[in-house]
Chain A
């Protein structure tokens, strides 16, 4: 069984640029959630995708957007990068069991905005 994978591992961008982060969910999972973890903080929910549609969103501006593909992999896109976007971005996949679903986390993508 393949776990959750994310790419790239880390990247450096300049303020104002755009970035795309990728996530492959664990086998059998069709729900993907994205989290932002700033240094010294716990993960903060960005949004969740289920069956290729956004299934809920946290308190993040519209320049954070996402996609889910038919194979349940997902992308997180961030436009007009700001310095405060520097963080570890985590992807988590789960089975379609609503709130009872344990989330399986990937290793994260470390984004640095300069």
Chain B
């Protein structure tokens, strides 16, 4: 079975600081990769996704993530965070080329941006 590891459980940054959240997965086959965000009091929503092609993907609100196949990683980045980025971030993986859309989630990283 797949597993997804998020190394940072809680990150505290000041506004304008740069962000990088780590995500590693265990599956050796073709995967699709996702980052979801959960703002306080809101649903999980998709931030960005990678299926194939350019390993650097851009998402909403200035976020981007880079897929490094050799490292089984899909780290999330943002050059300059804002107070409104305070949220919990989840990395998720599913098996590519499958009819079965089962997601494996990491345990999440809580980001607290100080104004």
Q: Residue A103 contacts which of B1, B101, B106 (CB distance < 8 angstroms)?
A: B101
What number of residue pairs across chains A and B have CB atoms under 8 A from each other? 71
A99 to B104, CA, bound (A): 12
Q: Residue B98 contacts which of A44, A94, A98, A106 (CB distance < 8 angstroms)?
A: A98
Q: Does A41 contact B (CB under 8 A)?
A: yes
A94 to B6, CA, bound (A): 25
Q: Residue A45 contacts which of B51, B103, B106, B108 (CB distance < 8 angstroms)?
A: B103
Query: From A102, which residue of chain B is reached at the shortest CB distance?
Result: B46
Query: From B36, which residue of chain A is reached at the shortest CB distance?
Result: A105
Contact A41 B107, CB 8 Å, known A99-B32, A100-B32, A105-B45: yes
Size range of the chain A interface in the assembly: 20 to 34
A42 to B90, CA, bound (A): 7
Q: Does B44 contact A (CB under 8 A)?
A: yes
A105 lies within 8 A of B101 (CB): no
| A40 to B: closest C-beta gap in Å | 7
| B81 to A: closest C-beta gap in Å | 21
